[in-house]
Amino acid sequence: MTCSILVGGAWGDEGKGKCITYLCDADKPDIIARAGVGPNAGHSVEFNGEKYGLRLTPSGFVHTGAKLMIGAGVLVNPDVIYKEFEDLKKYNVKERMHIDSRCAIINEDHLARDKNSEHLAKKIGSTGSGCGPANSDRVLRTIDLARDIPELEEYITDVSLEVNEAIDNGEDVFIEGSQGFALSLYYGSYPYVTSKDTTASTFAADVGVGPTKVDEVINVFKAYISRVGEGPFPTEMTQEEAESKGLEEYGVVTGRRRRIGHFDMELAKESCRINGATQIALTCVDRLFDCARVQNYDELSQETKAFIENIQNETGVPVTIISTGPDLKDTIDLRKELL
Ligand code: GTP
Ligand code: IMP
Ligand code: MG
């Protein structure tokens, strides 16, 4: 029995989508539950030659034996869910989806307030997905919950009860966080942050699991850093430097060009500390070093190994997953050796 939480280590887009699909395909958990803010997230999944951009559906959907859940803390936009049911039809996502009755619901008014607000859209550079205004209405206790929406009735459940019963029955539960540590409302670069805490403890609370039930916290970093939207970025490089290194990126939800920077060890240490990380997954290593699709640690160059070992030594957390390409197979999995 294992209850794992996967979190983003920096400003989101660390490649959580790829890591989650790899881990869920490899470990086959019984329940895969989405935590985090809501449909402001964009997770990229490449599986069997097809690409998916997900906003609410757990990225572990590729493991078709799992129940998929959305925890009470997550904001739900029903239109986003219905679209993902269509896009992911062949994976029976609709039939496997369970939404907590206490999820708060994003409506047109939240979307308009996010997109038309000078403060949110311009100063903060929000995703325009309605999450900030919806969370503020939730705090004011005026927002509708999933239990108030008749069209969602067939998906409604008590996620906390189901997840805790599964843990008590010795089943495996995988909790997917979204966004990243540096976007946390509490610990990030306020005010240039999202509308909620985005650390492991809050993700546990999002699905209604107590801290004593969590076994593993997997903190995902990219080998470099990206940030979309406004706010400080200590290791940022110029656009020209990013281009010369072939590190251009665009957002999944907004299509905006991402700012790119060097790996930030101070951020990594703080992120591991506050998340209580037990493992690090390092993605896009092939975009910094010449190791595309390598699946064996011994085949990495000395320079690449030194980069990885330095992260491990500085953070005190083992780097158990090394991603060398977008496909699930492009993964070095050191969990057997290191844990
Ligand atoms: P999260 O928001 O953290 O889930 O990240 P994401 O999944 O949204 O990542 P992003 O949108 O930044 O995806 C970037 C692209 O890189 C996607 O097409 C991924 O499939 C791909 N990708 C993920 N891991 C790797 C990797 O290790 N190497 C390479 N070359 N590409 C990767
Ligand atoms: P909001 O969450 O839409 O209010 O956006 C607030 C800030 O968080 C903006 O800088 C967004 O770009 C950023 N943000 C929110 N979610 C994500 C994500 O999943 N990936 C990357 N940045 C995000
Ligand atoms: Mg993303």
Ligand 1: distance of its center to the CA of 149 in Å? 34
Q: Which residue has a Cα nearest atom 10 of ligand 2?
A: 229
Q: Which residue has a Cα nearest atom 8 of ligand 1?
A: 43
Measured distance CA(214)–CA(134) in Å, rounded: 28
Ligand 2: distance of its center to the CA of 230 in Å? 9
Amino acid code (one letter) for 249 = E
Q: What is the pLDDT of residue 120?
A: 97
Ligand 3: distance of its center to the CA of 164 in Å? 28
Angle at 206 between CA 203 and CA 209, to 5 degrees: 85
Q: Which own/partner contact pairs does 325-330 have at CB distance under 8 Å and 24+ positions apart? A: 325/286, 325/292, 325/293, 326/18, 326/44, 326/46, 327/46, 327/293, 328/18, 328/21, 328/22, 328/25, 328/46, 328/47, 329/293, 329/295, 330/286, 330/292, 330/293, 330/294, 330/295
Q: Which atom of ligand 1 is found nearest the CA of 44?
A: 7
Name all residues whose Cβ lies below 6 A of ligand 2. 11-13, 37, 40-42, 124-127, 129, 131-132, 178-179, 183, 192, 194-195, 228-229
Ligand 2: distance of its center to the CA of 323 in Å? 24
CA 279 to chain centre: 15
Ligand 3: distance of its center to the CA of 246 in Å? 19
In a structure prediction context, what are the per-residue pLDDT tens digits for the chain, which is 339 residues long? Answer: 899 999 999 999 999 999 999 999 999 999 999 999 999 999 989 998 999 999 999 999 999 999 999 999 999 999 999 999 999 999 999 999 999 999 999 999 999 999 999 999 999 999 999 999 999 999 999 999 999 999 999 999 999 999 999 999 999 999 999 999 999 999 999 999 999 999 999 999 999 999 999 999 999 999 999 999 899 999 999 999 999 999 999 987 778 899 999 999 999 999 999 999 999 999 999 999 999 999 999 999 999 999 999 999 999 999 999 999 999 999 999 999 999
Q: What is the pLDDT of residue 253?
A: 76
CA 247 to chain centre: 20
Q: What is the pLDDT of residue 152?
A: 98
Task: Give, in order, the Cα–Cα distances in Å from 195 to each of 133, 137, 144, 258, 273.
Answer: 9, 11, 18, 20, 21
Q: Which atom of ligand 2 is found nearest the CA of 42?
A: 19
Q: Which residue has a Cα nearest atom 24 of ligand 1?
A: 326
Measured distance CA(182)–CA(196) in Å, rounded: 11
**Would you please indicate which residues are annotated as catalytic (active-site) residues?**
13, 43
Reduce the DSSP state of residue 274 to 3 states and report it. Answer: helix
Q: What is the pLDDT of residue 290?
A: 97
Cα dihedral sign, 265-193-178-100: positive
Helix axis angle for 200-207 and 159-168, nearest 10°, is 100
Measured distance CA(94)–CA(155) in Å, rounded: 8
Measured distance CA(9)–CA(280) in Å, rounded: 9
Which of the ligands is closest to the CA of residue 8? 1
Closest to 288 (Cα-Cα) out of 274, 271, 301, 275 = 301
Ligand 2: distance of its center to the CA of 265 in Å? 22
Name all residues whose Cβ lies below 6 A of ligand 1. 8, 12-18, 42-44, 46, 252, 283-284, 286-287, 323-326
Measured distance CA(94)–CA(165) in Å, rounded: 22
Closest to 281 (Cα-Cα) out of 63, 62, 17 = 17
Mutate to test the pocket of ligand 2, among 228, 254, 256 (most ligand atoms within 8 A of CB): 228
Q: What is the pLDDT of residue 149?
A: 98
Which of the ligands is closest to the CA of residue 184? 2
Kindly provide the b/e burial profile for residues 267-288, where b requires at least 16 CB atoms within 10 angstroms of the residue's own CB. Answer: bbebbbebbbbbbbbbbbbbbb
Contact between 128 and 121 under an 8 Å Cβ cutoff? The reply is yes
Tell me which residue has tokens 């390092």.
282
Q: What is the pLDDT of residue 256?
A: 87
Closest to 218 (Cα-Cα) out of 309, 302, 323, 124 = 323
How do 225-227 and 331-333 pair as beta strands?
unpaired
Mutate to test the pocket of ligand 1, among 6, 222, 284, 287 (most ligand atoms within 8 A of CB): 284
Q: Which residue has a Cα nearest atom 17 of ligand 1?
A: 44
Amino acid code (one letter) for 327 = D
Element (H, E) at 7: strand 3-8
Q: What is the pLDDT of residue 243?
A: 94
Contact between 8 and 198 under an 8 Å Cβ cutoff? The reply is yes
Mutate to test the pocket of ligand 2, among 14, 20, 183, 230 (most ligand atoms within 8 A of CB): 183
